Structure 1
Amino acid sequence: MLPVTDWFIIKSLTIPSSWIAILLALFITGIVLRMKFGKDTVDWFSDAAILFLIVWKFSVVFTDFDMIVKYPLGILYFNGGETGFYIALVIALSRLVWQIRSRGLSEREFGAMLIGFVLLQSLYQFLMVIMNEAEIWQKLITIVIFTGMTTLTWKKAFASNVWRLQLLTLFLFTHILAAVLQPEGVFQSPLMVTVLFVICGFTVSILLNKQQMEENK
């Protein structure tokens, strides 16, 4: 991840560029998926994104309970920080897997999900490049790596289930490569997000294979 060097002041709030990048990446990814695959196919993304934002926002009640007790209006101005971010992400992805297990999933939806994961992470990286300072070569490498991963995923996400599993694996390893070359190194939140995305993707693949086996009986 590129370091946060720019902050935005909105009335009494000072917001880091990483938060802006997350919100814009979610919004743009949602628009792209809906335009490409239609509303019914990507309702899972909207549900997961909204749940993630709500839990992240109100997780401050758990991560900083004493502050909220003293200053109840603080819940309007703060979120759960990095801890709340991970709580929200795990809950959103877990609910997504539960939904899939409950109602089933088509290969088209799995492909759309994979594209959504890669596009979301790539857009976040691009926005961080635009909004923050770093060495030019680090910015260029970040753009090249995630552009290549996004392009390949867009082309091969519907080729076969084997390709989808290969793309998930490649997604992880290319992000590790990018992280090694970025200022924050491998110990960074975006890489952990990719790890969770990949775990979710493999879980969905297992459920899809199980579903197909039951249908073929």
Structure 2
Amino acid sequence: MPVTEWFIIKSLTVPSSWVAVLLALILTGIVVWRVFGKETEDWYSDAAILFLLVWKLSVVVTDFDMILDSPLSILYFNGGETGLYLGVIAALGRLFWQLRRKGWPERELVAMLIAMVMVQSLYQLFMVLLNEAEMWQKILTVLVFVGLTMLTWQKAKLSSVWRIQLTILFLAGHLFVSTLQPRGFVQTPLFVTGLFVLCSVAIYVVTHKQQEQMGEKL
């Protein structure tokens, strides 16, 4: 969903996409805390805060000359799309490391998939609410992401095979929705979903190798 609305907060102009990201992260954190408990919510919060910090502070890398000329500009700008990708990669890397250290607990893997799907789905829903588009585009976007979220909640706990299938299905659903939007496949939210999928596939491969090794030892 393209950005058509901007919000003015004192001297800062904020695009609706920023608002959608923050609301999606906060609401997902509340749901993870209520459903999975504080310990699970802690790793989610760590990843979310790391993402926001890297995204915000990456402006030092992406616009170093501007920061040298006006150091206070770091308060008003972020690293843009490049910084966002760096933030997502940093957050997923930390999440991968935390789950690996814990031995890939089933409950945490379920929570991770649900959190990933919820963040992206809520972002899409808020973008629908905050921006202008054709009504049929809005309705289809809502139906696809709500449907994928509900299916993920129902099936994620069944098995690792179901989780990887849900991950691929979510990517397919996002690809379908992207065909309805002006920028098509060339859009940041879709690339973020792609990073989610890569992380999920990596976890699936690693956990299954461990299970096979344990089976051989037995």
Q: TM range, normalised to the smaller chain?
A: over 0.9
Where in structure 1 do 4 or more consecutive aligned residues deviate above 6 Å?
Answer: none
What's 1:148 paired with? Answer: 147
Is there any run of 5+ residues in structure 1 with no aligned partner, and where?
none
Aligned position for 1:99: 98
SS in 2 for 1:181: coil
Correspondence list, 1:66-215, <5 A? 66-214=65-213
Moved more, 105-114 or 62-71: 105-114
Match of 1:14 in 2: 13
One-letter amino acid of the counterpart of residue 77, structure 1: Y
Structure 2 equivalent of residue 64 of structure 1:
63
Gaps of 5+ in 2: none
Indicate the residue corresponding to 1:54 in structure 2. Answer: 53
Using the aligned pairs only, state the percent identity: 60
Moved more, 202-211 or 15-24: 202-211
Q: Once the 2 structures are TM-superposed, how far is the Cα of residue 143 of structure 1 from its aligned partner?
A: 0.2
Structure possessing the higher relative contact order (Cα contacts under 8 Å, 6 or more residues apart): 1
Q: In the TM superposition, what is the alpha-carbon distance from 1:213 to its structure 2 partner?
A: 4.2
Measure, in 2, the Cα distance between the counterparts of 1:51 and 1:120. Answer: 15
Question: Does structure 2 conserve the Cα–Cα contact (< 8 Å) formed by 1:17 and 1:131?
Answer: yes
Q: Which amino acid aligns with 1:24?
A: L
* Residues in 1 aligned to 2:180 and 2:80: alpha-carbon distance in whole angstroms: 25
Q: Does structure 1 residue 30 correspond to structure 2 residue 29?
A: yes
- Offset from partner CA, 1:186-217 (integer Å, 9 cap, x none): 11100001000011111122232234445553
TM-score (norm 1): 0.96
Render the CA deviation track for 1:163-195: whole Å, top value 9, x for unaligned. 111101101111000101122211110000100
CA–CA separation in structure 2 for the residues paired with 1:195 and 1:65? 28
How far does residue 96 in structure 1 lie from its aligned partner after superposition?
1.4
CA distance in 2, matches of 1:103, 1:157: 19
Report if the CA contact (8 A) 2:58-2:78 is conserved. yes
Q: Residue type of the partner of 1:114?
A: L
Output the CA distance in 1 between the equivalents of 2:71 and 2:153. 45
Deviation of the 1:85 alpha carbon: 0.6
